[in-house]
Chains A and B, each alone.
Chain A
C-alpha cells in the first residue's frame, strides 16, 4: 500500500470564535430584513390612512396566538441548551423537539391566515385588490412579502433545529472500512499500543468494517453545546423579527 494519506489538520475548538461568526451572520440577516423594513417605512409614511385600515383587516387574535407560540418556542430552545449544558441529553432532545413542534404550529397557523386572505381575494395582483386604493395594495404587498420572507426563515430555522435534533439523538459511532487483499488476521490495540483483542476472519472476506460506539467526552459535549447555542441564536433571531412584524402589521391601527 503506497497511497499517500492527506494530512489531517486537527480541528480547533474555539466556542467564542464560533459565536462571533454566528453573530456576524445574524447581523447580515438583520440587514436583509432592514431592506424590506425600509420599504415599509417609506410606504407607511406615504399612505398612513391605508396602512391603518389594512391593519384592521388582519386578525389580531391569530397574530397574537402566533406571537405566543414563537415566544414559547424560544423558551423551550433556551431550556434545551440549559439541559444539554448540565449533561441531560434526553431533556435537551425533548425540549428541542418541543421547539420544532411549536415552530411547525406557527407555520400551520400562518398557512390558515394566508389562506383566509387569499380566499377573500386579498393577495398581491388579485383583481379584488386592484380595485382597492394604492396604499392597500402596498400594505398587502408588504404583508405577504414580509411574513413570507419571515416564514422562509422559520422553515430554514426548523431545518437547522432538525439537524441538531438528529445529532443529539443519535448514538455516537464511527465506522471504518478496511480492504483486505488476502487472508485476514484481526487484532485490536489501544491508542498507546496495548493489545486488546486478537482474532481471525474467514478466508474469503474481501474486507472488514470496524464500528466503534462510544460515549461522548467533555470536549465533545462542549462542541455540541456551542452548536446548539448557535442554532438557538438563529431561532431567537427568527423570533425577534416576528416581534417587530406583529405590531407593525397587526397592531398599529
Chain B
C-alpha cells in the first residue's frame, strides 16, 4: 500500500496489522472506524447482491419457454419473493448510504468519524443479524416465503412458509437503517468542520442528509406494520382479517407509507454520487448547486405524499386517486431539476471520459427511461391498464438497477482509489459497461413491451404469444450478467494488483481528495478549515 502521508501516518487499512490473524480480525469486526464499517458493509452487501443476481437469472432462465423449464411453480414463487427481499432490504436500501455514506460523509464534512461510532457498528451488526435471518427463512422447515416482497395480507398471514422469520429479518434490517439515518443526521448537524457551512457541503452529503431523514421518518411505519404481521401470525390478532372486521387494505396503506419513501432512500444517494462525479470529470464547478441541494429535500418531502399510487386498483375513492396522481406527477419536477443541472454542468466542460463517468451517463439514460415510464403510470387510466404487469417490473428495474445500481458501480469506480489506494485498469471496465448497457436494455425494455401487451408480473407461466419477448429478455439477462462479471472481476483484481493511487487521481475538489489514499485512521491530521464551496476550482468564477 502506498504511504504518501507525511510522517508515515498509518492508513486505516494497515492499522492493527502485524499482530496475527485473530487480532487482525478483531480489529475489523469490533472496529468503530467509519471507514472500516463502510468496508464491512461493502463486503456483506455485495455478497448479497451476488446472491440476488443469481436468483434473478434463475427466474429468467425458467421463463425462457412457457410451462416448466427448470423449476416448479412453488419454487418460482419463493424465488421472486426472496429475490425481492434480498435486493431491496439487503442490497439497495442499505447499499449506497451504508457503504459510501459511512466512508465518505464524515470525510466530506471534515470530521474524524460519525457522531455515534459505536451505534454505527451496532447498525452493521443489525444488518448481519437481519441477513442471517433472511437466509434462515430460505432454508428453515416451512419453506422459503412465497408472498412477494410486499408481504400482502391476507395471504402473508395464511401461508405456511417462513413468512414470520422473513418479516422479522426485514424488521431488524429496518432497525439498522434507522440507526444509520440517526447517525448521519446528527453527524451533519454537529460535526461539520470550521467553515463548512450548510451551503458548502458537497451535494453527496446533501443527498445522504435527505436520505437519512427519510430513513428516520419512514422506517418506523414499516417496523410497526411488520410487527403487526408477526402478531397476526403468532397470536391471531385479527386486525387485518376481514372475517373478524379487520381491513387488509389498511395493511397496504401502512406498507406503502414506508415503502414508497423507501424508493427515495434507494435513489437519492445515487443522485448524490452523480452530483460528485459530473463536476469532477467535467473539470467545472457544478451548475445549480442550491437547486440540486434543495431538490434532494423536495424529493424527500414529496416522496412522503405519494404512496397511494401503488393502490389505484385496490379500492380507493376517486378524489384520493386524483390527488395521489397529481402529487406523483409533482415528484418529477425535483428529479428533472437534477438531470437538467447535471447536463448543464457537462455543457462546455472539458469532459474526461473515465469509466465512472460512463456509468453516470448510463445512470442518466436509464434513470430517465425509468422516470418517464413512472410518469406514464402516474396517469390514472394508464396505471389501471399496466397495473401488475411486466411494465411495472421493467419500470422499477430501470429506476432501481439502471439508476441506483449503475450509480453504485459508478461510486465504486470513482472512490475505489481513495478507499483501497489502488487504481483500476480502464479498458475492461469500458467493455464491461458495454455488455451491461446492451444486456440491460434487452432485458428490461423487452419487459416494458411485454407488460404493455399484457404479460402479468409474478406469473410462472404464459401464453405462447409472449415467448419471443421472454427469450429476448432471458438472453439480455445473460449479457447483463456477463458485463457484471467483467466489472466485478476487474475491480476485485485491482484490490490486490492495481497500480498505487495518488491522493487525488481525478482532480477532485472535495475534501476526500485532499487526504492520502487510503486515508489515515483519523482522516485528517489536522481538521481542515473551509473557505470556499465544495466544487470551487482556483481560477473558476463561481463558488
Interface residues of A (CB under 8 A from B): 2-4, 6-7, 9, 14, 16-17, 20-21, 24-25, 27-36, 38-39, 42-43, 46-47, 124-125, 130, 133-135, 137-138, 141-142, 144-145, 148-149
Contact = CB atoms under 8 A, between A and B. Distances in A.
A7 B217 CA distance: 36
Given A4-B17, A145-B239, A24 B220 contact: no
Nearest to B190: A17
B245 A47 contact: yes
A24 B182 contact: yes
B235 A125 contact: yes
20 contacts: A4-B14, A6-B15, A7-B521, A7-B522, A14-B115, A17-B191, A21-B116, A21-B186, A24-B186, A25-B182, A28-B182, A34-B220, A42-B250, A124-B237, A124-B238, A125-B238, A137-B246, A138-B239, A141-B239, A144-B237
Contact of A35 (B183, B254, B521): B254
B16 interface: yes
Contacts of B423: none
B235 A144 contact: yes
B79 to A, nearest CB: 30
Contacts of B512: none
A46 B244 CA distance: 13
Given A2-B18, A4-B10, A6-B15, 7 more contacts: A9-B112, A32-B223, A39-B228, A46-B245, A124-B236, A141-B238, A145-B228
Given A28-B182, A130-B244, A16 B190 contact: yes
B231 interface: yes
Nearest to B226: A35
Given A124-B235, A125-B238, A141-B237, A31 B186 contact: no
A24 B190 CA distance: 13
A149 B231 CA distance: 10
A28 B216 contact: yes
Interface string B196-231: 000000000000000000001101110111011001
A35 B257 CA distance: 10
* Residue among B182, B186, B245 with the highest chain A CB neighbour number at 10 A: B245
Contacts, number: 125
Interface string B175-197: 00010001101100111000000
B44 interface: no
Nearest to B185: A24
Interface residues of B, number: 46
Given A31-B220, A42-B247, A141-B238, A9 B182 contact: no
Interface string B254-282: 10010000000000000000000000000
A36 B228 contact: yes
Contact of A9 (B113, B178, B186): B113
Given A24-B216, A28-B182, A39 B115 contact: no
Interface of B: 10, 14-19, 23, 27, 112-113, 115-116, 178, 182-183, 185-186, 189-191, 216-217, 219-221, 223-225, 227-228, 231, 235-239, 244-247, 250, 254, 257, 521-522
Contacts of A3: 18-19, 23
A16 B219 CA distance: 25
A137 B224 contact: no
Contact of A17 (B113, B189, B238): B189
B15 A7 contact: yes
Contacts of B223: 32, 35
9 nearest interchain CB pairs? A134-B245, A125-B236, A35-B224, A31-B220, A17-B190, A32-B220, A137-B244, A21-B186, A3-B19
B245 A135 contact: yes
Contact of B238 (A28, A31, A138): A138
Nearest to A135: B245
B235 A29 contact: no
A4 B10 CA distance: 10
Residue from B112, B216, B225, B244 with most neighbouring chain A CB atoms (10 Å): B244
A4 B250 contact: no
Contacts of B227: 149
A20 B190 contact: yes
Which of A31, A130, A138 counts the most B-chain CB atoms under 10 A from its CB?
A31
A211 B300 CA distance: 52
B106 to A, nearest CB: 11
Contact of B220 (A6, A35, A39, A43): A35
Contact of A38 (B23, B178, B183, B254): B254
Contacts of A27: 216-217
A28 B236 contact: no
Nearest to A14: B190
A17 B111 CA distance: 14
Nearest to B119: A21
B246 A141 contact: yes
A128 B225 CA distance: 27
A30 B221 CA distance: 10
A145 B231 contact: yes
Contacts of B225: 35
A144 B234 CA distance: 13
Nearest to A42: B250
A15 to B, nearest CB: 11
Contacts of B182: 21, 24-25, 28
Given A4-B18, A28-B178, A42-B247, A17 B220 contact: no
A115 B403 CA distance: 53
A31 B217 contact: yes
Contacts of B16: 4, 6
Contacts of B10: 4, 7
Contacts of A145: 228, 231, 237, 239
A39 B239 contact: yes
Nearest to A126: B236
Contacts of B246: 137-138, 141
Contact of A21 (B115, B220, B235, B237): B115
Contacts of B257: 35
B275 to A, nearest CB: 25
B224 A36 contact: yes
A29 B216 CA distance: 10
Contacts of B235: 124-125, 144
B238 A4 contact: no
A32 B237 contact: no
Contact of A6 (B185, B228, B245, B521): B521
A3 B27 CA distance: 13
Nearest to B235: A124
Contacts of B239: 39, 43, 138, 141-142, 145
B241 to A, nearest CB: 8
B238 A137 contact: yes
Nearest to B225: A35
A28 B17 CA distance: 39
Contacts of A137: 238, 244-246
B219 A28 contact: yes
A119 to B, nearest CB: 17
B225 to A, nearest CB: 6
B198 to A, nearest CB: 16
Contacts of A42: 247, 250
